[in-house]
Chains A and B, each alone.
Chain A
Amino acid sequence: MVDWEMTDNTLLQIRNVSKCYAGLGESRAVLRDVSLDLQAGESIALTGESGSGKSTLLHLVGALDYYDSGEIEIDGTSLTNLNDSARSELRRNTVSLVFQQFNLVPSLNVAQNISLHARLANRVDLTWITSLTSRLGLTELGDRYPEQLSGGQQQRVAIGRALAVRPKLLLADEPTGNLDEIASSAVMDLMLKLVRESGAALFLVTHSVQVANQLDRRVHLSAGKIA
């Protein structure tokens, strides 16, 4: 670790992180020596070919998976040697995730889904949630269940749920990958706007150059290395 790289505002530090998946026989390096910083409120687009390791990197940052070497630090806390409950706490309070497959809770309605993460973190800000819901155009749909929504609507709920807790860092893995083009750009625009408003930093995996260009920075991953 080198001193000068640290600044007061650094939210995420990824340093020399490598990750292998144990394959049949030999093990395969998915990420090799990846280093990256993210300031608070900053947004980064992560691009790369399918299978280049983008999702893997995002999962490591979201403390959903474990790296083999290097170090990731979020908000001053190193993920190395963190136990399950500390990792859970980090996910609950600091980081939010939006997935390609929405991952809504089918047995909860829209309103309940949106507030779920905030309630789990015990940080319910009703004004913020109400405004979020209305900005996402979901006010009318509060009573509906996920199965009664279109894909675009479902992903808006997922975005609302992730932002409702006011995370410092939002991790989004191809959030519009399952949507058609029109829905996709509408949802993306809305998400970027809301992220900016909420002041969260954004780490977004995307295929779209157009989307990537809207963010502060752009990083390209190729065969597990940052180009």
Chain B
Amino acid sequence: MKRAALGALLSHWWRHRLQLITLLTGLALATGLWSAVQAINGEAKASYDLATSKMGARQNETLVPKAGFIPLSRYVELRRSGWRLSPVLEGHWPQNTGSLRLIGVDLLSHPTFSNIAKNSTSGSSYSLDALNSQGQLFLNPKTLKQLTVQVDLPPIVQSDQIPIDVVLGDISLVERLLQRPGQITRLIILPEQPLGLHPLEDLAPELQLQSYDAGQISRLTDSFHLNLTAFGLLSFAVGLFIVHGSVGLGIEQRRGLFRTLRAMGVPLHLLTVLLLSELLLIAIVAGSAGLVLGYLIAAALLPDVSATLSGLYGATVEGSLNLRPGWLISGIAMAVVGTLIASTQAITNIYKMPLLAAPGLQARAQAASNQQYGIAVLGLGLIASGTASMLVFDGLIAGFALLAGVMLGTALMLPLLLSWVLTLGLRNARSALGEWIWADMRAQLPGISLALMALLLALATNIGVGTMVSSFRLTFLGWMDQRLSAELYVTAKDEEQAQKFVLWLVGRDVTVLPIRWSEVPFHETKLRIYGVLDDPTYREKWPMLQAQDGAWDRVSNGTAVIINEQLARRRNLWPGDDLNLTSSWKMTVVGVYSDYGNPHEQAIVTLPVLLLHADNVPNLRFGLRLPPSSVQNLIKEVQQEADFEGITLVDQNDLKARSLAVFDRTFVVTGALNLLTLGVAGFAILTSLLTLWNMRLPQLAPIWALGITRRQLAWLELWRSLALAALTAILALPLGLLLAWVLLSIINVEAFGWKLPMYLFPLDWLRLLLLALVAAAIAAAIPARKLALIKPSDLLKVFAHER
């Protein structure tokens, strides 16, 4: 019985293969996008974990100085008092392009160094060679090419246990390379401690405890991943609309079959079980396809994601994708759960379906209209609770809750809104045909409204995210012009070379702007303080968001500081407030400048003040102001000097182009997901129209009989679909702008620490509207073509089979 019944059930899909394919594709697309995002997030998280565990600081707490560095003598004192600690000296090691993290550890006490060494390329011959007078440097093979500084390097040992961009060595070697003898950045507190210790607060009040693991990387990147996840969920939701539509239709179309089977003695519970198995099968097939798709998408996007993460947050994600069992399971589970959610309504209907008495068509229309109101009320509720969440929560969560509530709520209200518009059209229709068109569109609405909701969501997301990215880009471009005002940026190999270079420039009509900074511990993170020399360049061009009168005068006389927006927002410091740069260094904030693309907090003081308060302020980098026409000449001259070998020169345009490339890459992922979501929505429309096709013939046949040609009918069909898509797109515009506003003013501030002005891009909207119309047209074209070519006899059948 089971086989025969299942065969009868499945025969429907065999007869409606296209419908099955759309169902499978929709579900696969939804699962694909979701699992792509999951794969990317999973990979990134795994990378962070690995990086953390590689550094051996996973569980260990560390001691960091409240200011400056920890002197070696303090370390020895703490050891002598019994505390088991391991010292770490960490610094930026300038290379020709960028810098590497150079980390020095005490090989004897570091909790995991021996693991690193064990897995190195030199195999078992790792040894205390690293403690020889010459020493050894350990790094990941992928970091090797970035090691460009031409100093006498000790032997290199490669180990993939070491995070990318990190160079590890014994502290004796590293303090030499960083020229920071006797300094320690932090002390790892080893897991096992002896009895009878005195509290660290008493022994070393100038140090503070820090849990390294909960460090900034994860906090910063969390917001990025939350963004991605939200995107993934959105595309999944869009996908579920498709599934809901196709499954619902598949069940609706088979009501008669279910009755017949029941009349032939198939018990209700068996029928339900069979239907569920059918759905499960579909979910698993589509889910598996979705996983493959997701893997491919993730693999394609991962390089950009890692670029984003390292560009924005300095977090390193290795570029290769691994298959994780958890990911496979969650992908399939998502498909199954999504299918079940999307089909609960249909299944319960079947379960409650009376064996006899099909309810009249009229009643069903009535029910649909009631449902429309119910759904709209639900939507209104969602919007309200989303808005309310702004009052209850704050920050990122509130932003996302608002977004979710408003977007889903509006989508749910769409059918009612559209039906109002159509009713309005109906009232104003002049001709009989016009009347029929409006009425027919309204009748068609329940069948296609899910697809339109999906389209609304996709369009709004596109408008919102597009507006955000474009606004950001515009702001960023302007900001770069201000910020990168020097014509040429120079990095010297070492301080000696730097000095020679500055001397060499004397008399060449070049203004030298030193770029010097120091990092000081600051609220469990680091604050980079730049020291600048007073120059019109800064006064005229620096991208200030807020500044008091005479801000630069006060900075240059050493009494005030200007800070970046990230610092201002995170610590709520604005012009007029006092800022404690270190425990013994307090200054008044006189200005806030924008600093996009940088996750960290930053401050600017005048150079002499910086040198007074901080040591280790390398003097290697400069901005040069000179007439743009002489830039190329100067570069040539420098390259010819033997003394200046190893010096790096980057001209402003280059730097801008590079920065912009990084920026654009950052949003490749967003853009790609955006486009894919729109694709899914377009697909949803296609699905709905195709499946509606068969049900629509009985409605079209009488009109045909009244003397409208098939061609005309086909065109009408196309226009109708276009009109619905256009209406939806128009409704999507305000929703998208709201989304953009939330992204720019709430999400961005939380995730990146900066607020952006919102610009409007009507041309983009037009493009999007066209895209939506094209999608709708393509979707409607297939059924319309079918209609144009249908045999009259098929239309006649409608009359022959009066039911």
A and B touch in the complex (CB under 8 A): yes
A interface residue numbers (CB < 8 A to B): 59, 62, 64-65, 84-85, 88-93, 96-97, 101, 103-108, 112, 116-117, 119-122, 145, 147, 151
Query: Is there a chain A Cβ closer than 8 Å to B276's Cβ?
Result: no
The answer to whether B1 and A105 have CB atoms under 8 Å apart is no
B255 to chain A, nearest CB (A): 11
Known: A84-B268, A119-B4, A147-B797. A107 touches B262 (CB 8 A): no
A122 close to B15 (CB less than 8 A): no
Point out the residues of chain B lying under 8 angstroms from A108, CB to CB: 8, 11
Are B268 and A120 neighbours in the complex by a CB distance under 8 Å?
no
What are the residues of chain B within 8 A of A112 when measuring CB–CB?
7-8, 11
Give the residues from 57 to 105 in chain B that come closer than 8 angstroms, CB to CB, to chain A: none
Would you call A116 and B8 a contact (CB within 8 A)?
A: yes
Which chain B residue has the least Cβ–Cβ distance from A21? B357
Contact across chains for A91 and B268 when beta carbons are under 8 A apart: no
Nearest residue, chain A, Cβ from B4: A119
Cβ-based interface call for B217 (8 A): no
A49 to chain B, nearest CB (A): 20
Bound-state CA distance A85–B355 (Å) is 14
Asked if residues A88 and B8 are in contact (CB atoms below 8 Å), the reply is: no
Docked complex Cα distance between A127 and B3 (Å): 21
B15→A107 contact, CB < 8 A: yes
Q: Does B214 contact A (CB under 8 A)?
A: no
Determine the interface band of chain B, counting residues with CB < 8 A from chain A: 20 to 34
A112 nearest in chain B by CB position: B11
Residues of B within 8 A of A64 (CB): 263, 355-356
Could you say which of A90, A105, A119, A151 contacts B260, with CB atoms under 8 Å apart?
Answer: A105
- Residues of chain B from 656 to 685 with CB closer than 8 A to chain A in the complex: none
Across-interface contacts of B734 in A (CB, < 8 A): none
- The total number of A-B Cβ pairs within 8 Å is 82
Contact present for A103 and B260 (CB under 8 Å): yes
In the complex, B393 has a CB within 8 A of chain A: no
CA–CA, A62 to B803, complex, Å? 23
A22 to B14, CA, bound (A): 41
Given the known interface contacts A65-B356, A92-B1, the answer about A116 and B263 at a Cβ–Cβ threshold of 8 Å is no
- Would B1 and A84 count as touching, CB distance under 8 A? no
Q: Is A120 touching B356 in the complex (CB atoms < 8 A)?
A: no
Q: What are 18 inter-chain pairs, A to B, with CB distance below 8 A?
A: A62-B263, A65-B355, A84-B267, A84-B269, A88-B267, A91-B264, A107-B14, A107-B257, A108-B8, A108-B11, A112-B7, A112-B11, A119-B3, A119-B4, A120-B265, A121-B1, A147-B797, A151-B800
Q: Tell me if A92 and B264 are in contact (CB < 8 A).
A: yes
State A151–B802 Cα separation when bound (angstroms).
11
Candidate in B7, B14, B263, B270 with the most chain A CB atoms within 10 angstroms:
B263
Chain B residues within 8 Å of A96, by CB: 264
The proximity string for B residues 680-719 relative to A, scoring 1 for CB distances below 8 Å and 0 otherwise, is: 0000000000000000000000000000000000000000
The answer to the question of B259 belonging to the interface, with a C-beta cut-off of 8 Å to chain A, is yes
Shortest distance between the CB of B385 and any CB in chain A (Å):
39
Q: Which residues of B contact A122 (CB under 8 A)?
A: 1, 4
A65 neighbours in B (Cβ, 8 Å):
355-356
**Residues from 449 to 467 in B contacting A, C-beta threshold 8 Å:** none
Contact between A89 and B265, CB atoms less than 8 A apart: yes
Whether A91 contacts B265 in the complex (CB less than 8 A), given A64-B356, A105-B8, comes out as: yes
Do B11 and A120 touch (CB < 8 A)? no
Cβ of B12 under 8 Å from chain A? yes
Q: Which residues of chain A have C-beta atoms less than 8 A from B356's C-beta?
A: 59, 64-65
Residues in B lying within 8 Å of A, measured CB to CB: 1, 3-5, 7-8, 11-12, 14-16, 256-257, 259-270, 355-356, 797, 800-801, 803
How far, in angstroms, from A90 to B684 measured CA to CA in the complex? 43
Which residue of A92, A103, A145 contacts B259 across the interface (Cβ within 8 Å)?
A103
Task: Determine if B14 and A88 form an interchain contact, defined as CB atoms under 8 angstroms apart.
Answer: no
Check A107/B12 contact, CB under 8 A, given A92-B264, A122-B1: yes
Apart from the given pairs A64-B263, A145-B15, 13 other A-B contacts in the complex at a CB distance below 8 Å: A84-B268, A88-B265, A88-B268, A92-B265, A103-B259, A105-B260, A107-B8, A107-B16, A112-B8, A119-B7, A120-B5, A120-B265, A121-B1
In the complex, the chain A residue whose C-beta lies closest to that of B794 is A147
Contacts of A93 in B (CB 8 A): 265
User: Which of A91, A112, A145, A147 counts the most chain B CB atoms within 10 A?
Assistant: A91
Output the nearest chain B residue to A119 by Cβ-Cβ distance. Answer: B4
Contacts of B1 in A (CB 8 A): 92, 119-122
User: Which of B12, B257, B265, B268 has the most C-beta atoms of chain A within 10 angstroms of its own C-beta?
Assistant: B265
Chain B nearest CB, measured from A87 CB (Å): 8
Q: Report Cα–Cα, A7/B97, bound state, in Å.
A: 105
CA distance A93 to B12 in the complex (A): 25
Shortest Cβ distance from B3 into A: residue: A119
Centre residue among A101, A105, A119 by max chain B CB count within 10 A: A105
B2: nearest chain-A partner, CB-CB: A120
The distance from the CB of A176 to the nearest CB of chain B, in whole angstroms, is 15
- On whether the beta carbons of B261 and A120 are closer than 8 Å, the reply is yes
CB distance from A10 to the nearest CB of B (A): 22
Given contacts A84-B269, A101-B803, contact A117 B264 (CB under 8 A): yes
Q: Determine if A121 and B265 form an interchain contact, defined as CB atoms under 8 angstroms apart.
A: yes
Would you give the shortest CB distance from A201 to chain B, in whole angstroms?
18
Q: How far does the Cβ of B359 sit from chain A's closest Cβ, in whole Å?
A: 14
- What is the CA–CA distance of A37 and B597 in the complex, to the nearest angstrom? 89
From B11, B266, B268, give the contact of A92 (CB < 8 A): B266
CB neighbours of B263 from chain A (8 A): 62, 64, 91, 97, 103
